[in-house]
Amino acid sequence: MKNKFDTIILGLGAMGSAATYQLAKRGNKVLGIDKFSPPHVYGSTHGDTRITRQAIGEGEQYTPLSLRSYEIWREVEKEINKNLLVVTGGLIISSDAKSAVNHVEKFFEKTLSAAKKYDIKHDILDAPEIRKRFSQFNVKNDEVGYYEYNAGFLRPEECVNANLFLAEKYGAEIYKNEKVESFTEENGTVKVKTDKSEYIAEKLIVSAGPWLPELIDKEYADLFSIRRQVMYWFDTKGSIEQFSSPRFPVFIWELQGDNQGIYGFPAVDGPRGGVKIASEQFKATTTPETVNREVYTQEIREMYQTYVKPYFPGLTETCIKAVSCLYTVTPDFGFIIDKHPKHYSIIIASPCSGHGFKHSAAIGEVLAQLVVDGKSKINIDNFTISRLIKV
Ligand SMILES: Cc1cc2nc3c(=O)[nH]c(=O)nc-3n(C[C@H](O)[C@H](O)[C@H](O)COP(=O)(O)OP(=O)(O)OC[C@H]3O[C@@H](n4cnc5c(N)ncnc54)[C@H](O)[C@@H]3O)c2cc1C
């Protein structure tokens, strides 16, 4: 039957495209549907770069996903003959006096503990050593650095393109610009209704990013809050070389005197491409429909004064580009990768909370294993929905 599939994937961003590729590679008859034409700028997977690191401070349960993702990205790169993951080294700066919280308490300590547990190559740097190796950072005397040799960045749009290209190569059907309006499950069969047609499948993976709350039952929808974030690209005073890899690493900085930290990347777009730096905000919530996607001059000014000027004397107030993007955040900043509590043929995949991309290749594999084998090789017990539901 033309409209009958083994698996339907709702949403082809970072997670859905990776799952579609992994399922197609396993010979699963898979249909991926997206309401836009991914990669696109309306969800969570745009903005040129995403940090990847291996010792994961959000919790050491994430490190196996990251390590496996490195392996998968390298396999994908070979298949498409294109570089997706660039190792630049990664610097995490923190201090006893820090007030910023990076997703979870004790992020720096947890990073170090994961590095030790998984034998991830790193150095601990005091402030003079940070200044010596990375003079671009205006660190305080009491700040310390964790430097991870294999950290770097991924190209999110290119990764989605690669996943979808390979998914189609292995036989997946990809329907773009088609919106899923509803889905139901009855006796182990899932029915998916779109604005163009209806489909049935044995399994459905809902990987709708920030649109997830509008697609699932209210009692679960409330577990996710959508947060507008802004990424900024600032120009350099001198040559771009000082902010290019290998002289400049990806970084996360747990600031003193501020609730939020900053993170950033080496320049990737030549002399006039700027250096991408961002902070995070968790005060206001929004939705993909109502979010203000424009970035105002006032926001850019504030970003420069508060988060750029004091920390990077080599950057200027000239903002080359500023783009908004959406986080889908859970109350504990952890992922959801789990069967729907009432409909076991439906799997919900919401690995965001601002740190999901680096794991997306392995999450695609985990989702494929859940569909095909009923369980994943990597332990996902920490990513249940039930952990967030108060009884
Ligand atoms: C500013 C920013 C910075 C980040 N930095 C990092 C980082 O440095 N490192 C890191 O690891 N992670 C980072 N993340 C997190 C990471 O980018 C996300 O975890 C990841 O992109 C989430 O992907 P997703 O597939 O869940 O969602 P999305 O990519 O948004 O995909 C969801 C898809 O579902 C589709 N869809 C929705 N509803 C429907 C429907 N009804 N019918 C059909 N299709 C539908 C959408 O069109 C979309 O394509 C960052 C996120 C942001 C926003």
Q: Which two tokens stand for residue 295?
A: 């970035």
For ligand 1, the distance from its centroid to the CA atom of residue 116, given in whole angstroms, is 30
Domain harbouring 193, CATH code: 3.50.50.60
Is residue 251 within 8 A of residue 263, CB to CB? The reply is yes
**In this structure, is residue 127 part of a structural domain?**
yes
Nearest CA to ligand 1 atom 26: 209
Could you identify the residue written with the tokens 């968790």? 282
- Domain match, 186 and 324 both: no
Q: Clarify whether residues 316 and 249 are in a common domain.
A: yes
Nearest CA to ligand 1 atom 35: 11
Indicate if 121 and 256 belong to the same structural domain: yes
Q: Could you tell me if 256 and 205 lie in one domain?
A: no
Max CA distance (Å), the chain: 68
Do 164 and 219 reside in the same domain of the chain? yes
Q: Are residues 34 and 170 in the same domain?
A: yes
d(CA 302, CA 183) in angstroms, rounded, equals 43
Return the ligand 1 atom nearest residue 351 CA: 19
CATH of the domain at 257: 3.30.9.10
What are 178-219's pLDDT values in tens digits? Answer: 999 999 999 999 999 999 999 999 999 999 999 999 999 999
Other C-beta atoms within 10 Å of 116: how many?
12
Are residues 145 and 197 located together in one domain of the fold?
no
- Each residue's pLDDT, cut to its tens digit, for the chain (391 residues) gives 679 999 999 999 999 999 999 999 999 999 999 999 999 999 999 999 999 999 999 998 999 999 999 999 999 999 999 999 999 999 999 999 999 999 999 999 999 999 999 999 999 999 999 999 999 999 999 999 999 999 999 999 999 999 999 999 999 999 999 999 999 999 999 999 999 999 999 999 999 999 999 999 999 999 999 999 999 999 999 999 999 999 999 999 999 999 999 999 999 999 989 999 999 999 999 999 999 999 999 999 999 999 999 999 999 999 999 999 999 999 999 999 999 999 999 999 999 999 999 999 999 999 999 999 999 999 999 999 999 987 6
> Does 174 lie in the same domain as 283?
no
In our burial notation (b when 16+ CB lie closer than 10 A, e otherwise), range 352-382 reads: bbbbbbbbbbbbbbbbbbbbbeeebebebee
Cα 44-48-49 angle, rounded to 5 deg = 80
Q: How far is CA 240 from the centre of its chain?
A: 26
Instruction: Give the CA radius of gyration of the chain.
Output: 21
On whether both 134 and 230 belong to a single domain, the answer is yes
Ligand 1 centroid to residue 97 C-alpha, Å: 33
Domain membership of residue 55 (yes or no) is: no
Q: Is residue 260 part of a domain?
A: yes
Atom of ligand 1 minimally distant from the CA of 11: 34
Tell me the CA distances in angstroms from 11 to 33, 273, 286, 311, one per residue in order.
6, 30, 19, 38
Sheet order of strands, 275-279 included: 122-125, 144-148, 90-94, 250-253, 262-264, 275-279, 225-236, 315-329
- The confidence score (pLDDT) of residue 390 equals 75
Amino acid identity for residue 103 in this structure: H
Domain that holds residue 187: 4-46+156-223+332-388
Total domains, the chain: 2
- Whether the Cβ atoms of residue 178 and residue 196 lie closer than 8 Å to each other: yes
Within-domain flag for 71: no
Residue 296 is assigned to a structural domain of this protein? yes
Among 307, 329, 351, residue at a domain's last position? 329
Alpha carbons 250 and 311: distance in angstroms, whole number: 15
Span from the CA of 43 to the centroid of ligand 1 (angstroms): 5
- Looking at the structure, tell me whether residues 264 and 278 fall in a common domain: yes
CA of 366 from ligand 1 middle (Å) equals 17
Look at residue 65 and tell me if it is in a domain: no
Residue 39, domain member (yes or no): yes
First to last CA, the chain: 43
Tokens 């392995």 appear where? 362
Pocket test of ligand 1: the residue of 56, 58, 183, 211 to mutate, having most ligand atoms within 8 Å of its CB, is: 211
Together in a domain, 214 and 241? no
CB atoms within 10 A of CB 186: 9
Kindly give the distance from the C-alpha atom of residue 236 to the centroid of ligand 1, in angstroms, as a whole number. 29
How far apart are alpha carbons 307 and 381 in whole angstroms? 37
Matching residue, tokens 């424009």: 294
**Which of 329, 358, 375 corresponds to the end of one domain?**
329
For residues 130 and 87, state if they share a domain: yes
**Which residues have C-beta atoms less than 6 Å from ligand 1?**
10-16, 33-36, 38, 43-45, 47, 50-51, 179-180, 207-211, 215, 229, 231, 325-327, 351-352, 354-358
Closest ligand 1 atom to Cα of 325: 53
Cβ atoms of residues 298 and 238 within 8 Å = no
Q: Kindly give the distance from the C-alpha atom of residue 164 to the centroid of ligand 1, in angstroms, as a whole number.
A: 15
| pLDDT attached to residue 1 | 64
> Distance, CA 326 to ligand 1 centroid (Å)?
7
In a domain, 173, yes or no: yes
User: Is cis: bond before 39, omega within 30 of 0?
Assistant: yes
